[in-house]
Chains A and B, each alone.
Chain A
Amino acid sequence: MPTQCDEIALVLPQAVDAAEPVALPMRRHIESCLRCQAELARYRRMLRGLQMLRTQYFEPTPGLLAQTLASITAASERRAVTSTLTKRRIAYAGAVAGAVAAAGTTTAAVLLARARRRTLPV
């Protein structure tokens, strides 16, 4: 095989679907070289066949659909439980924070009132 045919053989796998541009001298060589044309035809046939594989289907094993739907249901339920728990935790934390804030405010007010009483002249 001449050197140029070797070089072209290297680029054909990516040039076959026109994804990568082929240099003009190489294109001209392919047009005039039966060996390279045959090689290009092999790749094109292969690519066409691969695209046709989309028409083939494997028959799923029995129970796959039911198992898939069941696993989604289980995951949804887990998520719902987690979400409820999270909401409750947030509400509980909010209530505790509110109570602490209220207690703090009350304590501060009492201490302030006592301090005022002490500083007032008799």
Chain B
Amino acid sequence: MATEHGTGEVPDLATLVTAAQEGDRHAFDEIVRRTYVDTYTLAVRLTASEEDARDVVQEAYLRAWKGLRKFRGDAQFSTWMYRITANSAATLTSKRRRQRTVQIDDVADPIETEVALHPELATENVELMNELSAALDELPPRLRTVVILKDVYGLSHEAIAEELGISVTAAKVRLHRGRKRMRDLLYEEAGSHADAV
């Protein structure tokens, strides 16, 4: 890492991960800098709370630092990080479930960076994403978590089941129910409005 810092080259994530696995703390700090917005976004979506998301992010990176040697590189680092984040969020959510109810209204609106960078992404898509975000917030946490991990972040059923401590069948059932509930939230309401008119 020292040579790369010295020459001013910007190492890619894989190089940083390798260096961090060898104990380079500066490399790990750089990994955190590059990925924490993504991790925070997933944490906010899973917990529906900015306060909880902060705790999840810190816990996730602590776990990542302690378990970095176990990362074999057969998956992308970001996927590995998503799994740790999902696991941390599940742990925190189960701890706090009895303590208080979730305040989804406290969460700030997301920033559509891709839309800003790519104007070809039409307004229609932004509207759809807003509708979907609202529908996701309506889902029970158990269903929301699986829909987010599978349909937004592309994790496999096996990975989801492992991180949430459930069977693969249970993960598939939750996804099925979550998608059905999402469909009802998105289209039944629209249909009933149309019927009323």
- Out of B108, B180, B183, name the residue touching A58 (CB < 8 Å): B108
- Kindly report which residue of chain A lies nearest to residue B151, judged by CB atoms: A50
Cβ B125 vs Cβ A58 within 8 A: no
Q: How many residues of B contact A (CB 8 A)?
A: 51
The answer to whether the Cβ of B74 comes within 8 Å of any Cβ in the partner chain is: no
Taking A16-B179, A58-B41, A75-B62 as contacts, is the C-beta distance between A51 and B152 under 8 angstroms?
A: yes
Per-residue A-contact encoding for B7-47, CB less than 8 Å = 1, 0 else: 00000000000000000010011001100111011001100
Chain B nearest CB from A22 CB (Å) reads 14
The answer to whether the Cβ of B81 comes within 8 Å of any Cβ in the partner chain is: no
- Out of B45, B65, B186, B187, name the residue touching A76 (CB < 8 Å): B65
Per-residue A-contact encoding for B163-197, CB less than 8 Å = 1, 0 else: 00000000010011101101100110000000000
Cβ B36 vs Cβ A57 within 8 A: no
Give 16 CB contacts A-B under 8 Å. A13-B175, A42-B187, A46-B132, A47-B179, A50-B152, A53-B129, A57-B41, A57-B110, A57-B113, A58-B44, A58-B107, A58-B108, A60-B57, A69-B29, A71-B61, A72-B28
The answer to whether the Cβ of B133 comes within 8 Å of any Cβ in the partner chain is: yes
Q: How many residues of A contact B (CB 8 A)?
A: 31
Interface residues of A in 53-110 (CB under 8 A from B): 53-61, 64-65, 67-69, 71-72, 75-76, 79
Q: How many Cβ-Cβ contacts under 8 Å join chain A to chain B?
A: 119
Complex: A55 Cα to B58 Cα, angstroms: 23
